[in-house]
């Protein structure tokens, strides 16, 4: 068990946006977090990354409260939104910076990036542009790749498929499946039911901050979810 959430609550302007009694994520799971807008997915991820403080309850990562120590940063990589990018850097500079935080040298970073050439589709490296001048989809690619480069044990991605072109979506999906291992736990939020049921072994469905469904995927999952969302 890598993540344990107890009695977690977050309230904004009198409205409870996250309210989780108990939730555990096991090592090696690939978990899809789904729910309509306002279900509390991003808020949950932000609390998991200690970016916002819960109003009650706690999130334990490997047994330590994320709000109390920085331990989790050593094995957690994440990409939530453009707020995670440093937009006045070139992608190369950004990757090298992120690499340096994990004691990766320039050559090591470049070596890693070479394996992502297909994913980049020739649109990221050596373009002579700062990150802020890229399209949203390409910014996403930079953020996701930077997260993967950290070789994390816990990977947190907020809507990684959004803004990506179809080819890249499929490549990302294949890659995420390929990365699955007992040593990597992945949390993915997405609005794309197809992708999420394809990639994830477990689906957690949120509605207004609460866990409505929590189950392991099988061949009927997609239909079930479609039924739920078309209500």
Partner 1 sequence: MFSTFLRHQWTGFWRSRNKGATIAAQVIMGLFAVYLIGVCFLVGFILEDLIDKFMPGKDIFLVFNGMILYYFSIDFIVRLQIQELPTLAITPYLHLNIPKRKLVNFLHVRSLISVINVFPLIIFFPFCFRNIAPEYGNFACGMYLLAIFSLVMFNNYGALYFKRISAENIRVVLPAIVLLALVAGLEYLKIFSIAAFSDRVFSFIAVHPGAGFLFPTLALAIFLLNDSYLKNNLYIEDLTAGEERKSSTDYPFLNRFGAAGTLAALEIKLILRNKRPHATVTKGLILLFYGFLFYKQDLILTNQFGKMLFPAVFMTGNTILIYGQFMFGWQAAEFDGMLANQVSIRDFFRAKFILLGISASLLTALTSFYGFLSWKILAVHLASCIYNIGVSTVIVLYFATRNYKYIDISKGAKFNWEGISASTMLLSLPVLLSPFIIYLPLSLIGPYWGLAGITIFGLAGMATRSYWTGFLVREFNKRKHKIAEGFRERS
User: Quick one: tokens of 8?
Assistant: 């977690």
Alpha-carbon gap, residue 83 to 2, rounded angstroms: 26
| Among 62, 102, 180, 208, interactor with partner 1 by CB under 8 A | 102
The strand pair at 202-207 and 30-34 is best described as parallel
Residue 227 CB, shortest distance to partner 1, in Å, is 35
**What is the DSSP-derived secondary structure letter of residue 39?**
S
Q: Is 135 in the site for partner 1 (CB under 8 A)?
A: no
CB nearer to partner 1: pick between 106 and 227: 106
Binding mask 6-25 for partner 1 (x = CB under 8 A): --------------------
Q: Quick check: helix, strand or coil at residue 204? A: strand
Closest contact distance (angstroms) between CB of 37 and partner 1 is 17
- 83 binds partner 1 per the rule CB under 8 A: yes
Q: From the centroid of its chain, how far is CA 218? A: 22
Interface with partner 1, residue 97, by CB under 8 A? yes
Q: Contact, 157 vs 84, CB < 8 A?
A: no
Min dist. Cβ of residue 148 to partner 1 (A)? 14
End-to-end CA distance of the chain: 34
Where on the chain is the footprint of partner 1 (CB under 8 A)? 46, 49-53, 70, 73-74, 76, 78, 80-90, 92-93, 96-98, 100-102, 128-130, 132-133, 150
């Amino acid at each position: 068990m890598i993540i344990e959430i107890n009695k977690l609550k977050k309230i904004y302007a009198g409205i409870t946006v996250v309210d989780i009694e108990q939730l555990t994520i096991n090592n090696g799971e690939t978990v899809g977090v789904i729910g309509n807008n306002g279900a509390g997915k991003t808020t949950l991820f932000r609390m998991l990354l200690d970016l916002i403080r819960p109003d009650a309850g706690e999130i334990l990562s490997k047994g330590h409260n994320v709000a109390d120590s920085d331990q989790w940063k050593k094995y957690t990589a994440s990409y939530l939104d453009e707020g995670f990018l440093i937009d006045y850097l070139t992608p190369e500079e950004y990757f090298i910076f992120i690499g340096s935080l994990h004691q990766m040298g320039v050559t090591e970073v470049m070596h890693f990036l070479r394996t992502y050439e297909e994913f980049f589709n020739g649109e990221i490296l050596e373009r002579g542009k700062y990150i802020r001048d890229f399209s949203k989809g390409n910014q996403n690619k930079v953020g996701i790749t930077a997260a993967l480069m950290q070789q994390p044990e816990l990977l947190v991605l907020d809507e990684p498929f959004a803004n990506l072109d179809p080819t890249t979506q499929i490549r990302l999906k294949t890659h995420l499946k390929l990365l699955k291992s007992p040593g990597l736990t992945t949390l993915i939020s997405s609005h794309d039911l197809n992708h999420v049921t394809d990639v994830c072994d477990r689906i957690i469905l949120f509605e207004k901050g609460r866990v409505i469904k929590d189950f392991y995927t099988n061949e009927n999952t997609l239909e079930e979810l479609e039924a739920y969302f078309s209500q």
